[in-house]
Amino acid sequence: MAGFVRGHPTLAEHVVIRDPSCVGVGKDVYFGVGCYLHDKAQIEIGDMTHFGPYCVLYGPLLIGNGCCIGANTVIAARQQHPNCPLDEAFATYGQDIRLIVIEDNVWIGANVTVVPGITIHTGAIVGAGSVVTHDVPRNAVVAGVPARRIRWREDRELP
């Protein structure tokens, strides 16, 4: 499948890319075992970004350079609409679809969920197990459900 993806990612075993024509990757991008990239919307990934095992990506997504995404992370720019009337089925009501942007040099821990419409700015860190429901500022460290800022990265920590 990698031959149809724009770029040349390294794919571990059992990586599924549903529509390779919708995926663009930079240099030295790695997808761990069992990663799943859904079809229907554009997914663009910059250079030297690595995904741990079993990450799930639903576009539209823009992911920058030098990011580390932990195992079992779900980055979903689409979700079933939470305001579905009681007399309608979730599966037929429609979806909330909004672009997710993850800028450069972002570290996302394992088991994180990022919901539609979020921007995680450059240098941010998202703690393991967090649910990101609001934009994350540049160089912020966030964690929790929902994710909240717990501190700022200091200048000496920056590359």
More confident residue, 159 or 126: 126
What's the sign of the alpha-carbon dihedral 12, 13, 16, 17? positive
β pairing state of 119-120 and 140-143: unpaired
When mean pLDDT is compared across 42-56, 71-85, 137-151, the lowest value belongs to: 71-85
More confident residue, 86 or 145: 145
Residue bearing tokens 């554009």? 42
- Express each pLDDT in 36-76 by its tens digit: 998 778 999 999 999 999 999 999 999 999 999 999 999 99
- Among all residues, which ones are annotated catalytic? 81
- Whole-number average pLDDT of the chain: 89
Predicted pLDDT at 95: 77
Predicted pLDDT at 62: 97
Structure tokens at 130: 């967090």
Q: Which domains does the chain have, with CATH numbers?
A: 2-157 (2.160.10.10)
Report yes or no: 111 and 73 within 8 Å, Cβ to Cβ: yes
